[in-house]
Structure formats: C-alpha cells, structure tokens
Amino acid sequence: MSILRQIPSECKIRTELKRILFGKQLFCPFCQGKAIKKYGKRYRCKRCRKPFSFTSVTWLRGMKLSLQTFWLLVWCWCNKVPVDQAHKVAGVSLVTVRRWYEKFRTHLPEHALDATRLSGVVQIDEAYRGSKNKKYAIVGAKQIGTRKVVLKHIPEKSVDRKTAIDFLSNYVVPGSTLFSDGAAIYRKISNWWPVNHSYERHNRWEFTLTSEIEGLWGNYTTFVRRMYHHVTPEKAPDLITEFTFRFSYPEWFQSPVSYLRVAIMPLKQKQVHLWKTFPQFISSMQDANLLLKLAKKSLTTVPY
Ligand SMILES: [Zn+2]
C-alpha cells in the first residue's frame, strides 16, 4: 500500500524525535548532564543514573503502539482520514484511533489561539448546534481574504452582547472593520469596542458582507461529518479548536514531521540554580552538625 511504504523506518522516526526534543546534542532531561549511555533504544544518564527514552520524556510516554503505527496514525489525522478508515489502514481498534486522535488534538499548541488577532476587514457570525437538551453556540470570525479565523465554543443556548464584546476584545484589533448580520447583539457594538461596524439583513437576502464566515460554517460541518461522523456536545469545544487550527495553520498538518514539531516541546536545557541547591546544602550541613554532636556526646560518655 502506498501510504504504508511512505512511513519512515523506526530508526528514522527515532532520529526525528531526538532532533525535536534535544536539538543537536543529547542531554539528560533530569539533571542536564551531557554524559549519556545508550542501551539499545533506551538511555541512561551517567551522572544521576536515571533512565529515559525519546518517548518517555514526552506525552507519548507508555505508548503501546510501534513508532511506525504511531506515525501512520499521525499521518491519517493530519490528512483528515476518517476514524473508521484509519482503524482499517493502521490495524488498530476504533477505540485506539479515537484515543490517539484526541491526544493529537489536545497537544496542538493552544497558546497560538490566545495570540490570534484579526484585523482589517473581519466578518463575525454565530451558529447554534447541539441536541434539544444540550444546545450550544459557536461564535466565529474571519479576517476576509485570509485563512485567519477564530471559532469559539459558547456553552449557552444563545449568544448575548457581553459574549460578543468579550470575543471582539480578545480577538479583533481595535479600528478593524466589522461586518455582521443584523442580530441585535451587534447593534451599536462600536460603543463597546472600537470597530467600524456595518451589518446586513439576511431576511432581505443580503449575504455579501458575511459570505466568507457563512461559508466557514459549511466547512466546519463537513469537517466534523467526514472525519468524526458526528460530534457530542462534550467533545464540541475540542473539535471547534481543532478546526480553527486546521483552517488557520494548514502548515502544521502538512506531514507528521510538521505536526510533531509544533506538538512536542523541545526539552529545555536548564541552568542549575544556586537557590535550588542551597536548601540541599543547608540540610546536609544540618546532618553534619547532628553527626558532630553525636560524636561529641559519645566521646564525653566514654569512660576513662
Ligand atoms: Zn541526569
């Protein structure tokens, strides 16, 4: 099979993990020591004696899949292969595919979303989803002519003005032009957040100002249906985030390597701080004092 032939060898995958985690030179993840001994696929620090492997120091810890199967699952997820298809191609259970897809999703760098700012011309809209008892809303905005989007799960039946203002103040740069539909929550929104706001009335078949954001809801629905078949209200926030990242950062999903480079944090080579070693020094001095006292006591009690 063509996909299977493209999976790198176990050894190449290990080399890639090493490059992501350690950069050029291997060091001990616990004490930063540079003297490392290799035992097959595992390593041991010569200074602190602690063992580690390239997976044990990441969220792949305890993984039961082979590295090649893992790689194939990352490839499937990056390429939006539906859960049932990934299960067949990788030869693992549906539960395993779901669990790993979820892990891949939760290790997307969430801080990227916090740093997202839309500017220029921005379209905003809200959508309502969920079942009768568990309704939720999604507020979405798109910087037109770009792939920059923010979709935010709102655990409420409807979106109020406060939610809209929170959203704008978080993600839309002051001075931007904002297009919305005629919903009441956006009326005079510029009194709360400085945007140049225009709106249109959908019941009059005006769809030019918000066409891109309207299209985005369609993209989201198709994405969920094809890849996951359906979404439960509990999983909705995570899937909305995944979609946002796929849309805004397609480069992260180009290959398993590009995904792993954003999802696995390089290990930092920490400096040894004196304030961390000082308490140890003090306690060792206390131990020494105690020994000294005991020694003196025993000396004085020795009969002549
Ligand atoms: Zn060490």
* Domains, the chain, ordered by start: 2-106 (no CATH), 111-252 (3.30.420.10)
Q: What is the mean pLDDT of residues 12-27?
A: 92
Among the residue ranges 8-12, 37-41, 84-88, 200-204, the one predicted with the least confidence is 200-204
φ and ψ of 243, to 5 deg = -60, -45
Cα 263–Cα 268–Cα 274 angle in degrees, nearest 5: 150
Q: What does the alpha-carbon distance between residue 22 and residue 145 come to, in Å, rounded to a whole number? A: 38
Segment of 67-76, 230-239, 279-288 carrying the highest mean pLDDT: 67-76
Q: What is the mean pLDDT of residues 268-273?
A: 67
Ligand 1 centroid to 28 CA: how many Å?
5
Residue type at 159 in one-letter notation? V
Q: What does the alpha-carbon distance between residue 281 and residue 279 come to, in Å, rounded to a whole number? A: 5
Burial of 119: CB neighbours in 10 Å, binned 0-12, 13-18, 19+: middle
Ligand 1 centroid to 43 CA: how many Å?
10
Q: What does the alpha-carbon distance between residue 34 and residue 27 come to, in Å, rounded to a whole number? A: 5
Ligand 1 centroid to 30 CA: how many Å?
5
Among the residue ranges 221-225, 251-255, 258-262, 275-279, the one predicted with the least confidence is 275-279
Q: What does the alpha-carbon distance between residue 29 and residue 114 come to, in Å, rounded to a whole number? A: 29
Q: What percent of the chain is predicted at pLDDT more than 70? A: 86
Q: Give me the half-sphere count of Cα atoms (radius 13 Å) on the Cβ side of residue 221.
A: 10
Average pLDDT along the chain: 88
φ and ψ of 225, to 5 deg = -65, -45
Question: So what's the pLDDT on residue 144?
Answer: 93
**Quick one: tokens of 127?**
């959508």
Q: What pTM, to 2 d.p., does this model score?
A: 0.82
- The answer to whether the beta carbons of residues 209 and 198 sit under 8 Å apart is yes
Ligand 1 centroid to 257 CA: how many Å?
28
Instruction: Spell out which residues have Cβ within 5 A of ligand 1, the ion.
Output: 28, 30-31, 33, 45, 47-48
Ligand 1 centroid to 154 CA: how many Å?
45
Ligand 1 centroid to 108 CA: how many Å?
29
pLDDT: which is higher, 230 or 71 = 71
Q: How many CB atoms lie within 10 A of CB 65?
A: 15
pLDDT band at 42 (very low <50, low <70, confident <90, very high): very high
Is the per-residue pLDDT at 83 higher than 70?
A: yes
Question: So what's the pLDDT on residue 268?
Answer: 84
- The answer to whether the beta carbons of residues 109 and 98 sit under 8 Å apart is no
Ligand 1 centroid to 206 CA: how many Å?
65
Ligand 1 centroid to 70 CA: how many Å?
28
